[in-house]
Structure 1
Amino acid sequence: MAEEEPSAMTIGDSSQRDALAEGILGLLRPAVAEMDTRVATVRESQQELRSYIDTLAEELKQLSAMQALPVDLEPYVKKLANARRRVALIVSLMQTVQDRLTRVQQGVAKETSRRKALAAVQPS
């Protein structure tokens, strides 16, 4: 024979069930109402945002239609790329010139010290 498990709370009559349901609803009702209000507010905000986006898109279309020729930036981009290339070449050339000047200065310093050494050795 199967034994029946004793339940923690035996709800036999409908008035007890109704009271329990009303108590649970009383606890949840404020939270549900707040969530409902927030969802409605978010929906209104989204509709307002959508309206603003539609208006902006329409204004951009009108602005685009008012321009006779769109601005072509490609020539300016090419000019900037050419200028960048020229600057890189100049930097390379300047580095080469600097290296040469450094070697000339070192050569002059060696020659000067050699002449000083020779002048000190030779009596005048």
Structure 2
Amino acid sequence: MEIRTIAMPADTNPNGDIFGGWVLSQMDIAGGLTAARRAQGRVATVGIDAMTFVRPVGVGDVMCCYGHVEKVGTTSITVAIEAWKVLWFERREVRTLVTEGRFTYVAIDDDGRKRPVDR
């Protein structure tokens, strides 16, 4: 797991569900952590190849994001990310997939220029 956070009322859309952009930003943070660890340094998001929303997130839901490296290029890293919401029912944890996607990051140096990633 890369991150775990709780959805708050300030993050809702007009329908009362958590705004999809908030979910996407949490996934980007998680993917950035995964990519930075693999790149052993700074990375920048350059693209989202695919994203599918499966279930809404509600206020008070705990959201967990998991990422794993799918592909390493010369300067880029593609990370598959899943976001799950966690609820507690009768003293047991219930996890539900919320969304998944593929994010691409590029390794950058201290000046913000692309740099190679060790394979």
Q: TM range, normalised to the smaller chain?
A: under 0.3
Name the TM-score, length of structure 1 as normaliser. 0.21
**Quick check: which one's strand share is greater?**
2
Q: Which has the higher contact order (CA 8 A, sep 6+)?
A: 2
TM-score (normalizing by structure 2):
0.22
Q: Which has the higher helix share?
A: 1
Higher-Rg structure is 1
